[in-house]
Amino acid sequence: MRKFKHYNPKSIDEAVEKLQEFDGKSFVNAGGTDLLGTLRFELLEEYPEAIINLKSIAPSLAYIKEEGGMLKIGALTTL
């Protein structure tokens, strides 16, 4: 695998700031299995400069709820 920066934000706002900082050259990681395999085998057209780990924000992103007739599933909701 190539080198990349890894961040563990403590809030959604901090994660958004990192995404903006890398301007489309970063990926969000919620579990890691799919992303790390993709990086290892270099299956992407462009390799990310940074990975932003959402697990450090849990449990605020681990939910299933209904709001206004819509089902919402958080990025860290487990199977």
pLDDT digits (tens, 9 = 90+) for 29-59: 887 668 888 888 888 888 999 999 988 887 7
The answer, yes or no, to whether residue 9 has pLDDT greater than 90, is: yes
Q: What is the pLDDT of residue 32?
A: 67
Count Cα neighbours of 54 within 13 Å in the Cβ-side half-sphere.
19
Q: How far apart are CA 5 and CA 43, in angstroms?
A: 19
Full-prediction pTM beyond 0.85?
no
Model pLDDT for residues 17-28, shown as the tens digit of each residue: 999 999 999 999
The answer, yes or no, to whether residue 4 has pLDDT greater than 90, is: yes
Q: How far apart are CA 27 and CA 47, in angstroms?
A: 9
Instruction: Report whether 72 contacts 65 (CB < 8 A).
Output: yes
